[in-house]
Structure 1
Amino acid sequence: MSLSAIDRRPITTSATPSSGGVDVLRWTGFGGVVLLTGAAWTGTVALAAGVAGVGLLVLSWALLGRSVLAGRPRPSARWLKRTLVLWCGPLLVAPPLFSLDLYSYLAQGEVAARGLDPNAVGPATGLGATADAVQRVGGYWQDTPSPYGPLFGAVERLIAQVSAGDPVVGVLLHRVVEVLGLALIVWAVPRLAGASGRAALWLGVLNPLVLWHLVAGAHNDSLMLGLMLAGTAVALGALREGVDWWPLAFGVGLIALAAEVKLPALVALAVVGTALARRRGGGFVLVGLGMAGAFLVVSVGVSVLTGLGFGWVRVLGTSGLVASWMAPTNWFGFAIGGIGSLFGADLTTTMIGVGKVVGYVLAAGVIAVVLHRQLRGRVDAVTALGLVLAAVVLLGPVVQPWYLLWAVVPLAVAPVTTLVRARLAAVVAVFAVLVPPLAGNFSGRVGQLVVGYAVGILVVGAAFLLLRRKSIEKPRSRV
């Protein structure tokens, strides 16, 4: 072997898992998930177990990523998919974690099951303020109409009818729906990623935010992402050699259905339309009108067939009514409002409104630039989708940890460098530990949080030292 060939070999460090070590990491992550389920109960011990579980899973996932990004043969794509199933298992039967939105879905479904319009009638009005279903909903959303599209409204109504109001059955059925969405994501990711399928599965599907919010929290973003990515994979596949119109139409239909869950999926139609215009050598405006027409046809069809009508159009901005501290567009309002309060002026609400308008304008500008670059062939379609969704999230009026998945999953699939994937992974890891596993408001439990995080950090630190000693290869010297 020549010296140059030896120099090109990947260097094994003490922080990279060996082929045998990945199995240790798999079961360490599983143990973390089991501990995490304890956070659904009350008490400092339960919270400490949950925090430790979060840390163990994030640690295991990060160390697996070092092996994947280093180009090692293990873990394989099949191994990663099986690990996803293993890590999802305990979360499927746990109470809702990280968020109470799942109880809002149940209440909105009961409103629809009573023949009322969930996009016009809030749970407290439709069910009565003292109803058990309403009491489980977060205070702010108890009388807020549903902001979701008619497809998800129909899902909520069907689950309410099947579960007959039983919250346990309702939670499990919603998890089934979101797991179906996750299955679509798992199907689409390798098809969009091509040769980088393993890295895309690790970063886009196995990541902690998926487990926390699409499985444990059962957010409908899973169904939206699943339909959107599956539709994008089918549509772009139809454009690889010429234009295969029927698969293209099917893919566009899936994306339009995703937008009937949550509207942001609509931007995928712009990306697919741009790819079609580039394939045909022009006609961007005509293609854009065709995509808008397809969305309109699907919207009318779903709204009429579900019997839920078009009330969802009026409440699309409902989620933005909360002044989210994670949204960069709100920081301007918080800053100016804080300064104004020193002089007795209440400027926060007004300035947050200004920030939102600026965010909308900037987002539109970023989307236009990205689509123009895609049309000119400077950005591929999957990267364009990730960048456009990143603009929608970061410049939108509200940011939630699970919203990051809108951009992270497509960017994980995109043909980006290892450094970019590593940076995306760092963002995922930070947001995975940023929000406590307690579902809902944790004010008044600050003491529990402090103790819980202290114990959790000690457990994770000990686990990291143990993994370095027992499941990580020793460094090999270079010749």
Structure 2
Amino acid sequence: MRVVQVPVGATVFRWLGLAGVLLVTLSTLADGADQFGVRTDAVLGWLTEGAAAPLAVAVSGMGLVVLAWLRLARFLAELSAGWLRGTLALWGAPLLVAPPLFSGDVHSYLAQGEVAARGLNPATVSPLDGLGAAHELTGNVSSYWQDTASPYGPVFGTIQRLIAELTDGSVLSGVLAHRVVAVAGLVLIVWAVPKLAARAGVSVPGALWLGVLNPLVLWHFIAGIHNDALMLGLALAGVALALSGIGERIAPLPLCGGVVLIALAVNVKLPAAVGLAVVGVALARHFGATFGRFVLAGLAMCASLALITLAVAFSSGLGFHLFTQLSVSGEVNSWMAPTNWVGFLVGAIGMLFGANITQPAIEVGKLIGMVVAVAGIGKVLVDQLRGRYASVTSLGALLAVVVVFGPVVQPWYILWAAVPLAACLAPGKWRNTVIGVVAVFSVILPPLGGNFADKIGELVLGYAVAIAVLAVATVLSRPRKVAV
């Protein structure tokens, strides 16, 4: 076996990234002591006083991870897929013991699971109605979502209920159990990305670097515990498996197995449905790429989804409510969503004249975005049918359309598109755009929660220190010319 010599620079940046992750973990352990019932004041007392110190440490750590990740790109030609997977494990390990970061969605998962464990349906009964305002799990849920039913499918609802039953209401055990589920989704992603990259003719180390080692994966799939990890893992594994069954001849077992995995992903979160569209078009191309075959393949995918969804919904006892809560995530106006920007601008102008038109303007923007998204999805699928897009490229493009023109954008939503795009984009403008978006969204929000409205000075100071630390690290890590 040939031993590949890892460049010294790559090893240095691997450890720099670990140092950044440790800083993030240190700062969030100080901030999240109460969530885990562990007192860290004695060791981290200097870090828990005020908001500036933990914020500066956290954002400095985030910046160092992004810097290390970007610098590793220089060595991709000399790095193996195994080394990159090992780096992901190394960077992700400390975050396994960190409190939930960036959002409190996992507390909604816990409350919804407890609702299900009581024999109620979380798709129709909110934590407030099912548990009561005085329950600890309800109190941990953001006030925006306490009176909102679950928007997730029955596959995830079943997982939530099982975790609630096994952990008996323990917040610590429940958080850790949901983190295990998210990591399982990430394992599926790590398995699927190389297979999709090989199909698309893209470098596997490059795809792993951009698709799974990127900081957004660390922050939101491991530390943030979002069920998007499970959705994306099932969907990508399903697409990779199904496409392997569509070659010169149809291999029914991998094709059907892949369709089942994608359907299960849809029953976690709906955006995974585009995976079925990609497989359906690939199937239509196999049989001649005619419009009639396109329609038949589409109907076959819809029928498969309906049958699997009904089977899961009723076997779980949670019923068929997958499509009844689609508007839940859009109830809070997302400032990151491009479809809302015009509405915010028009609303600000209206306020100058005493007119309160922000919400109507945002609703118009969302409607236009939905129309554009439908048209964009249709265009991508037709291009795939005609051979202009390969299957993996079509998957990435479809998810990009869903994210960009959707009513809500969260940093972890970027991964819906970034991961499959990493597996199909060759070096160039579009790949660099994805890298830039990932880098920006990796530092745009600090991991520590809290209201800084009355702590603007501490907020500015924390970021100023972090920027200074990152500036020094950037200068010190620049490639240097060696005199000849």
TM-score (norm 1): 0.92
Pair 449,240 (structure 1): closer, same or farther in 2 beyond 3 Å:
farther
**Alpha carbons 1:184, 1:227 under 8 Å: kept:** yes
Question: Which deviates more, 257-266 or 435-444?
Answer: 435-444
CA distance in 1, matches of 2:122, 2:448: 27
* C-alpha displacement of 1:440: 5.7
Q: Please tell me whether residue 48 in structure 1 is matched to residue 56 in structure 2.
A: yes
Pair 342,213 (structure 1): closer, same or farther in 2 beyond 3 Å:
same
**Alpha carbons 1:100, 1:440 under 8 Å: kept:** no
Structure 1 unpaired stretches of 5+: 1-17
CA distance in 1, matches of 2:425, 2:100: 35
**Alpha carbons 1:228, 1:254 under 8 Å: kept:** yes
**Alpha carbons 2:178, 2:225 under 8 Å: kept:** yes
Q: Please tell me whether residue 32 in structure 1 is matched to residue 20 in structure 2.
A: yes
Q: Please tell me whether residue 444 in structure 1 is matched to residue 454 in structure 2.
A: yes
Aligned to 2:341: 331
CA distance in 2, matches of 1:111, 1:440: 27
Aligned to 1:377: 387
Question: What aligned pairs does 1:51-90 form with structure 2 within 5 A after superposition?
Answer: 51-68=59-76, 72-73=77-78, 75-90=79-94
CA distance in 1, matches of 2:184, 2:442: 23
Question: Which deviates more, 386-395 or 117-126?
Answer: 117-126
Aligned to 1:367: 377
The equivalent position to 1:22 in structure 2, one of 4, 10, 34, is 10
Aligned to 1:316: 326
CA distance in 2, matches of 1:208, 1:216: 11
CA distance in 1, matches of 2:255, 2:305: 14
Aligned to 1:9: none
Question: Which deviates more, 105-114 or 176-185?
Answer: 105-114
CA distance in 2, matches of 1:452, 1:169: 32
CA distance in 2, matches of 1:444, 1:296: 50
* C-alpha displacement of 1:443: 3.7
Return the letter of the residue paired with 2:117.
A
Return the letter of the residue paired with 2:119.
G
Pair 445,332 (structure 1): closer, same or farther in 2 beyond 3 Å:
same
Deviations 1:452-473 (A, max 9, x none): 11111222222223333xxx46
The equivalent position to 1:147 in structure 2, one of 145, 151, 157, is 151
* C-alpha displacement of 1:353: 1.2
CA distance in 1, matches of 2:321, 2:331: 18
Q: How many residues are aligned here?
A: 453
Pair 92,445 (structure 1): closer, same or farther in 2 beyond 3 Å:
farther
Aligned to 1:231: 238
Deviations 1:184-215 (A, max 9, x none): 00000000001511110000000000000001
**Alpha carbons 1:98, 1:440 under 8 Å: kept:** no
* C-alpha displacement of 1:332: 1.9
Which one scores higher on RCO, CA 8 angstroms, separation ≥ 6?
Answer: 1
Pair 425,77 (structure 1): closer, same or farther in 2 beyond 3 Å:
same
CA distance in 2, matches of 1:446, 1:411: 38
Question: Which deviates more, 156-165 or 175-184?
Answer: 156-165
Question: Which deviates more, 444-453 or 158-167?
Answer: 444-453
Kindly report the root-mean-square deviation, in angstroms, between the aligned alpha carbons of the 2 structures.
1.5
Return the letter of the residue paired with 2:68.
S
**Alpha carbons 1:99, 1:440 under 8 Å: kept:** no
**Alpha carbons 2:425, 2:431 under 8 Å: kept:** no
TM-score (norm 2): 0.91
CA distance in 2, matches of 1:143, 1:90: 34
Question: What aligned pairs does 1:170-319 form with structure 2 within 5 A after superposition?
Answer: 170-194=174-198, 195-281=202-288, 282=290, 283-319=293-329
Deviations 1:18-52 (A, max 9, x none): 91111110111001001001332143222211111
* C-alpha displacement of 1:451: 1.6
Pair 388,216 (structure 1): closer, same or farther in 2 beyond 3 Å:
same
**Alpha carbons 1:360, 1:396 under 8 Å: kept:** yes
* C-alpha displacement of 1:115: 1.1
CA distance in 2, matches of 1:399, 1:263: 15
Return the letter of the residue paired with 2:229.
S
Deviations 1:61-84 (A, max 9, x none): 00002322xxx31x2211100000
CA distance in 1, matches of 2:462, 2:104: 20
Structure 2 unpaired stretches of 5+: 1-5, 32-47
CA distance in 2, matches of 1:34, 1:347: 46
Return the letter of the residue paired with 1:255.
I
CA distance in 1, matches of 2:353, 2:464: 39
Pair 458,87 (structure 1): closer, same or farther in 2 beyond 3 Å:
same
Aligned to 2:127: 123
CA distance in 2, matches of 1:66, 1:440: 37
CA distance in 1, matches of 2:434, 2:457: 32
Identity across aligned pairs (percent)?
Answer: 56
Deviations 1:168-199 (A, max 9, x none): 11111000000000000000000000151111
**Alpha carbons 1:138, 1:440 under 8 Å: kept:** no
Pair 148,309 (structure 1): closer, same or farther in 2 beyond 3 Å:
same
Deviations 1:86-143 (A, max 9, x none): 0000101110111111111111111111111111111122111122111111121111
Question: Which deviates more, 363-372 or 451-460?
Answer: 451-460
Return the letter of the residue paired with 1:20.
V
**Alpha carbons 2:343, 2:362 under 8 Å: kept:** yes
* C-alpha displacement of 1:475: 4.6
SS of the aligned residue for 1:139 comes to coil
CA distance in 1, matches of 2:472, 2:456: 24
Question: Which deviates more, 81-90 or 192-201?
Answer: 192-201
**Alpha carbons 2:104, 2:141 under 8 Å: kept:** yes
Q: Please tell me whether residue 341 in structure 1 is matched to residue 351 in structure 2.
A: yes
Aligned to 2:435: 425
CA distance in 1, matches of 2:393, 2:134: 48
Deviations 1:257-293 (A, max 9, x none): 0000000000111111001101111311111000000
SS of the aligned residue for 1:315 comes to coil
